Amino acid sequence: MTFSTLSGAASGVLGRAETVGTELKAIGIGRKAGLLGGESLAGTVRTLRDLNRLGAVTAAMAKAARVHGDRLAMIDELGEITYADIDDHINAVANHWRALGVQPGDGVAILARNHRWFVVAFYAACKVGARVVLLNTDFAGPQVREVADREGVDVLVHDDEYAAFLDGVEPPKGRFLAWSETASDVPSLQSLTVGGDTTVPPIPSTKAKIVVLTSGTTGTPKGAPRAEPKGVTPVAALLERAPFRSGDRVEICAPMFHSLGLAFMLLNVAMASTLVVRRKFDPEAVVDSLAANKPRGMVLVPVMLTRILDAWDARENPTHSLEVVLLGGSQLGGELAERGLKTLGPVIHNLYGSTEVAYATIATPEDLAASPATVGRPVLGTKVKLYDDQDRPVPDGQVGRIFVRNALPFDGYTGGGSKAVIDGLMATGDVGHVDEHGRLFVDGRDDEMLISGGENVYPREIEELLDLARVDVLAA
């Protein structure tokens, strides 16, 4: 046996030991947050069996309904609904689709805003083992048709407001209305739950796969499929930095078809928390909800925070009970981070990731107080490394291309292709630098670089400097 063989074997053993150690730490984090535990020994065995047979997403809803059936699952514009009731709706829809011939691996596309029927459609598709394709509600008809053809959609679920531009989109196993306010020949999900079969569907032969579409910043949005997460680490990685807890009320403003809103919908269902949602973002309604529903957590994109703070400042003595405000999806920016911390207190958390790599880093309120423009440090089970254009590692303080490896591997784009990979880490498409404290800063896209006077310049760096200058002027 050669030295290189022994070295490779030792490296493999160390790698497995590191993975086991990370998972054990993740279990501790999960217990502290209430993600794990709270069941009898028999219940725990059942949950573990469900995880193995059904996958993490489907098993999480099953556990929430079984253990916390009387707890509120959602508050939306239709009112309140418990986990037991929403699980009955999910089973009824899943059983109806199975009776129509929907098979494991079939494509179920969802074109819907944030409300209970989005959640019902999503989990029903998971229960039949489908490929769940989440469509952007800003898509026009041609984009929906293009994505439906490319992704192989067998069932389409949509809100009735989109019906006008869906002519010609006729998936072989039917269309169904999610949110419906007008009479239609298209059956609604609600109608399937009236007298429907609410027994737990048989275990599908394959687990569900979720396809989130890219933002399309470099062309037509691509399908980015990802298998269900394995183990506790992918969830605990978020909980370690963004301390959501079981039983929270969480205001989810970010659209749930987007990776940010979806991730935290899944996370909070896994902890049997209550999701507070509305179909269209309304900053005034959010401020009202903060007082009326008293959510402990909130998930949104930065532009939403700006509008909420504007509405907040216009109120007399507004109140909130927020302890975790999680932002992602676009650059937070130093000025907005400082404003959020000043107005809402030390509750702002900034997540950095992408559709392909999921998440990479989270900046805590302490990170943002020290460096408002940072996106924080790598989360549990995640490695972040910077490389130059010759694929060589970049030392701290210098700008390089950002690459990430974590516990949520991306399967590659639908139809082929992927992001660049170096040493097992995948490109985010961004460039950035790491400071002396290990905090990551995103300086721009790797295709945005300008050369001025022989120096590399990124537009985002200039925007950050202008933001900070405005803060100094306002404080003077």
pLDDT per residue, tens digit, the chain (476 aa), is 443 343 344 434 435 656 788 888 988 998 899 888 778 888 878 887 887 788 888 999 999 999 999 999 999 999 999 999 999 999 999 999 999 999 999 999 999 999 999 999 999 999 999 999 999 998 888 888 888 888 899 999 999 999 988 887 889 999 999 999 888 889 999 999 999 999 999 999 999 999 988 765 445 677 877 666 667 888 899 999 999 999 999 999 999 999 999 999 999 999 999 999 999 999 999 999 999 999 999 999 999 999 999 999 999 999 999 999 999 988 999 999 999 999 999 999 999 998 888 899 999 999 999 999 999 999 999 999 999 999 999 999 999 999 999 887 777 787 777 888 999 999 999 999 999 999 999 998 876 554 443 344 445 545 545 544 443 433 34
Q: Token match 């041609």: residue? A: 142
Q: DSSP E strands: which ranges in 192-294? A: 209-213, 223-227, 249-252, 274-276
Q: Please say whether the beta carbons of 19 and 256 come within 8 A.
A: no
Of 112, 114, 150, 106, the closest CA to residue 132 belongs to 106
Q: Token match 């880490």: residue? A: 425
Pairing of strands 440-445, 425-434: antiparallel
Domain with CATH 3.40.50.980 in the chain: 71-213
Neighbouring CB atoms inside 10 A of 231's CB total 16
Sign of CA dihedral 406, 408, 412, 413: negative
Provide the whole-model pTM. 0.87
> Which residues lie below 8 Å from residue 40, measured CB to CB, with a gap of 6+?
none
What is the pLDDT at residue 1?
43
How many CA atoms does the CB half-sphere of 400 hold within 13 Å?
22
How many CA atoms does the CB half-sphere of 423 hold within 13 Å?
11
Of 306, 347, 311, 346, the closest CA to residue 330 belongs to 306
CA distance 460 to 463: 5
Tokens of 444: 């721009």
What is the pLDDT at residue 410?
76
Domain with CATH 3.40.50.12780 in the chain: 229-442
DSSP-derived secondary structure for 111-129: E--SSHHHHHHHHHHHHTT
The yes or no reply on domain 229-442 and CATH 3.40.50.12780 is yes
Tokens of 142: 């041609």
Of 175, 179, 102, the closest CA to residue 137 belongs to 179
Q: Which runs of consecutive H residues, i.e. helices, occur in 34-82? A: 41-54, 56-67
What is the pLDDT at residue 468?
44
Q: Please say whether the beta carbons of 260 and 299 come within 8 A.
A: yes
What is the pLDDT at residue 17?
57
List the CATH code of the domain at 71-213: 3.40.50.980
What is the pLDDT at residue 272?
96
What is the pLDDT at residue 447?
63
